Amino acid sequence: MQRKFITNLILLLSLNLLIKPFWILGIDRSVQNLVGLEEYGFYFVVFNFSFLFNIMLDLGITNFNNRNIAQHKQLLNKHFSGIITVRFFLAFLYVGVTFVAALINGFKGEQLYLLGWIAFNQFLLSTILYLRSNLSGLLMLRTDSLISVLDRLLMIIFCAVLLWGNVTDQAFRIEWFVYAQTAAYVITAMIALSVVIVKAKFKRVYWNWPFFVMIVKQSLPFATLVLMMSFYNRIDPVLIQRILPDPVGDIQAGVYAEAFRLFDASNQIAYLFAVLLLPIFSHLIKNKKPIVHIVKLAFSLLFTVSVTAAITSYFYSYEIMSLLYPERDVSESSTIFSIIMFGFIAISGIYVFGTLLTANGSLKQLNIIAAFAISLNLLINIILIPQIQAIGSAYASLSAQWVSVIFQLIIVQRIFRFRINIPYLASLLIFAGLVVVGAWFSRDLPFDWKINLLCMLGYAFVLAAMLRLFSIKSFISIIRERESDLTD
């Protein structure tokens, strides 16, 4: 099982590191630079607002389905036809609730038009994620990995043509960015649907009220969890815009978006671990097999990467933001960036421990933690945004993430009773401390800051290997293992 995790993690990371950095740094950043802070901030607020009720598109069905198919593969044929029908019903519910909430919050003309397209994109994206949950539940992880980057690859092609293809004399408009996403999602959804239809031996769509009730009841705890996590992960820019007066709200949301971009990219890399871990944890728990080795392996990798990224971002925040936005004053966005990147460490832990609790069915505990995190996030935002604007949201987000991971770790230990490995914990602390020291001294190296940063990253890699937080030799031996119980 470790071989399955490592080989597919390498494939998934390779594909995403090839595609997504170019999307985030090449396309998304170029769009923001072209349309300006205020217009991009306007889009960013509408985009994040569409996420607040995103759970109504799914009601937790994707996470429930991933875990359920991983444990009972024979149910794919039975459930697929019914769930597809349920999801179309939920799409109408989502659109209705989202637009009512938008009208209550004062959205008008252009905002509502953009929200309509983005809401449709959310439906397409949610459908793709559901289709992928069937593939990962069947442990078709290679196929799932390829589909996971297809939408971004298509978006890169479409947006590159619009940005640099000289196909129009008009200035680039933020709406074109949204239309390109729509086209990419439609194509990806059709391809994913074709694969799942073959695997599910799909014949026809049907509506079955008892089945609908059963699916909603079983997925409701997942739905509640996803809803609350969506709120405390996506509500910050919405609160910034609503609490601050015009046009300061849109501008500050744009500043937050500048800093958030690299954090979101890092978050997406960590999310890939959760994508692989949920079906693997579910399979191991169902078959009563040991999970401690997979947990330690995944956490060690994510801890090494996240601590290095957070500390490096803190010491080089101004330089990194200046590189991304050379024509702007980045003093504020660099401060936000240095704060929220420490949340990446917490997010990485959540993607291991939260995924383990999800696979175990410990959703009541996860929902209580998420509810507390939302309350904390809202309270800190309401207090700090009027005083320090977008920087206040950065502190709110950081606080919610760390509270979540600490409580999740406590619950994991209570349920699974992992042996406390003092030398391993000491290695983690030593690594973090020495990375801080290394980053401090790297700034004084007699080279360009980019060379200094690369030296810092190389030092962290060597340090992690010396402390045995990961072992290349172990990876190679795991990859060479024969695997008889799982196939893709």
Let me know the angle formed at the C-alpha of 107 by 106 and 112, rounded to the nearest 5 degrees. Answer: 160
Residue 488 is assigned to a structural domain of this protein: no
Q: Given this model, what pLDDT does residue 472 score?
A: 59
**End-to-end CA distance of the chain, in Å?**
12
What is the C-alpha separation between 67 and 277, in angstroms, rounded? Answer: 10
Q: Is residue 486 part of a domain?
A: no
Domain count, the chain: 1
CA nearest neighbour of 339 among 406, 409, 432, 402? 402
* pLDDT tens per residue, range 417-457: 888 889 999 999 999 999 999 999 999 898 999 999 999 99
Give the span between the Cα atoms of 180 and 183, in whole angstroms. 5
Over residues 149-178, the pLDDT tens digits come to 899 999 999 999 998 888 888 888 889 999
87 in Cβ contact with 127 (< 8 Å)? yes
Phi-psi region of 106 (alpha: psi -120 to 50; beta: other; left: phi over 0): left
Q: Which two tokens stand for residue 25?
A: 């740094």
For range 237-243, the mean pLDDT: 86
Q: Which of 403, 379, 404 is nearest to 393 (CA)?
A: 379
Residue 99 lies in a domain: yes
372 compared with 198, residue with greater pLDDT: 372
In angstroms, rounded to a whole number, what is the distance separating the alpha carbons of residues 376 and 237?
A: 16
Token pair in block for residue 214: 């059963």
Six-digit token string for 343 = 């949340």
Mean pLDDT of 398-418: 93
Which tokens in the block code for residue 189?
Answer: 């959804």
Q: What is the mean pLDDT of residues 259-287?
A: 81
Q: At what angle do helices 248-286 and 109-137 cross, to 10 degrees?
A: 20
Residues 292 and 418: their CA atoms lie apart, in Å, by 7
| Structural tokens at position 83 | 């769930």
Query: Which tops the pLDDT comparison, 337 or 4?
Result: 337
pTM of the model: 0.73
CA 23 to chain centre: 15
Residue of 309 and 472 predicted with greater confidence: 309
CB atoms within 10 A of CB 338: 21
Is 50 exceeded by the pLDDT of residue 488?
A: no
Q: What 8-state DSSP symbol labels residue 481?
A: S
Per-residue pLDDT of 323-369, as tens digits, reads 888 877 888 999 999 999 999 999 999 989 988 998 888 888 888 99
Domain membership flag for residue 139: yes
Residue 481 has pLDDT above 70, yes or no: no
Give the span between the Cα atoms of 230 and 48, in whole angstroms.
Answer: 9
From the CB of residue 484, how many other CB atoms can be counted at a distance below 10 Å? 6
Residue 487 inside a domain? The answer is no
Are the C-beta atoms of residues 390 and 252 closer than 8 Å to each other?
A: yes
What is the domain range of residue 229?
2-480
User: Is residue 198 in some structural domain?
Assistant: yes
**Joined tokens for residue 158:** 């479409």
Mean pLDDT score, 278-298: 83
